[in-house]
């Protein structure tokens, strides 16, 4: 099983939703970057549950830097950050090994890795693992320190009016259901000339990372799919100065796979959480028939509410990888 990404800035994640610990190993962090456990708190807090529609599972999410930092700065050696799971209820998942959830990875994990695979809490497929991505993203943001990252939810359950998001999620919860959403991330100040044509384009690397996030089912840059409904004369970004500033930003800050100095804009589609309270018909290996499954445990009715900072982290990882490649 390969759970690593990157060359110049390489991350490897390990553990699972209900293992004693889980962690991320980062290789390629330059020496001399100030870093402490306190630096992680703001982004980790944005990922924690607590908003309407998020899981009732509460974890401390305290980072422990076990290597790669000395006297408050990075050493240039391998950086390892560990977290501990303290609030697990593994018994909620026992029957899912034989009665897999629709649209979850229970069945694909069984087919690929066998019945012994750790499915507690969803195992390595759980959204819990995004904790490690956010931690790695904190380091990546320090490497890309000129860039300013912002993100927002632009849509939940088909509704774009943010004042109605709580109502949308509450309605889904009352029905024992879930909703998905769209997250937009904007990066200003990333600079020009990052990325290469074709296989190492900014879009290629960022999309690779974003699609590794559980529940991500779509990625678009700039005007994305909506842009194809425009004529070229409407969509083209007019260049208004020698620095490459454009009057519009349909390209999302990238031309030919390379950053052009305008804000990078990427949107990500997050699917509705598969684990819902409604009974769903799905195959049962024990009875060898399709039977209703009612899922217990603690799950998010809207995982998108906790995912904005995860999207930011993955974009930061992509830009850190490209920046370090430039030297």
Secondary structure in 3-state letters for 214-244? CCEEEEEECCHHHHCCCCHHHHCCCECCCCC
Query: In this structure, which topology does domain 4-326 adopt according to CATH?
Result: Chorismate synthase, AroC fold (3.60.150)
3-state secondary structure of 262: coil
Q: Is 15 in contact with 23 (CB distance < 8 Å)?
A: yes
Low pLDDT (below 70) residues in the chain: 49-59, 87-93, 119-122, 297-298
The whole-number pLDDT of residue 120 equals 66
CA-to-CA distance for 207 and 212, rounded, in angstroms? 8
pTM of the model: 0.92
| Closest C-alpha to 135, from 285, 26, 243 | 26
Q: What pLDDT does 298 receive? A: 67
**Measured CA angle at 16 (ends 306, 115), to 5 deg:** 125
pLDDT at 54: 61
Please, is 160 exposed, middle or buried when counting C-beta atoms within 10 Å of its C-beta (0-12, 13-18, 19+)? exposed
User: What is the average pLDDT score of the chain?
Assistant: 91
pLDDT in the model for residue 49 = 65
The Cα 160–Cα 136 span in angstroms is 30
Provide the pLDDT for residue 52: 57
Can you give the pLDDT at residue 160? 97
The closest of 312, 305, 307, 306 to 187, measured between CA atoms, is 312
What's the pLDDT tens digit per position in 180-209? 999 999 999 999 999 999 999 999 999 999
- pLDDT the model gives residue 312: 97
CA atoms within 13 A on the CB side of 235: 14
Nearest to 82 by CA among 102, 100, 62: 62
């Amino acid at each position: 099983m390969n759970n690593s990404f990157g060359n110049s800035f390489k991350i490897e994640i390990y553990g699972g939703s209900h293992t004693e610990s889980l962690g991320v190993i980062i290789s390629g962090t330059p020496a001399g970057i100030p870093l402490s456990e306190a630096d992680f708190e703001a982004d980790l807090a944005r990922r924690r549950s607590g908003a309407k529609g998020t899981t009732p599972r509460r974890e401390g999410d305290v980072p422990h830097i076990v290597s790669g930092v000395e006297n408050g700065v990075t050493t240039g050696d391998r950086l390892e950050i560990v977290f501990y799971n303290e609030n697990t209820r593994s018994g909620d998942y026992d029957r899912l090994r034989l009665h897999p959830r629709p649209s979850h990875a229970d069945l694909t994990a069984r087919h690929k890795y066998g019945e012994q695979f750790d499915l507690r809490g969803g195992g390595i497929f759980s959204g819990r693992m995004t904790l490690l991505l956010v931690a790695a993203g904190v380091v990546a943001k320090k490497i890309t320190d000129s860039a300013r990252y912002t993100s927002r939810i632009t849509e939940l359950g088909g509704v774009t009016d943010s004042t109605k998001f709580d109502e949308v999620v509450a309605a889904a919860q009352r029905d024992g259901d879930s909703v998905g959403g769209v997250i937009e991330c904007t990066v200003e100040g990333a600079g020009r000339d990052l990325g290469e044509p074709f296989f190492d384009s900014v879009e290629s690397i960022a999309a690779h990372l974003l699609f590794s996030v559980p529940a991500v089912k779509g990625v678009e840059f700039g005007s994305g799919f909506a842009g194809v409904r425009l004529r070229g004369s409407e969509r083209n970004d007019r260049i208004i100065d020698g620095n490459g500033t454009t009057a519009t930003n349909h390209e999302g800050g990238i031309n030919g796979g390379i950053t052009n100095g305008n804000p990078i804009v990427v949107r990500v589609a997050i699917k509705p959480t598969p684990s819902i309270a409604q009974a769903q018909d799905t195959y049962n290996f024990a009875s060898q028939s399709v039977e209703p499954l009612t899922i217990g445990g603690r799950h998010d009715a809207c995982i998108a509410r906790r995912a904005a900072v995860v999207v930011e982290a993955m974009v930061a990882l992509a830009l850190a990888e490209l920046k370090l490649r430039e030297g």
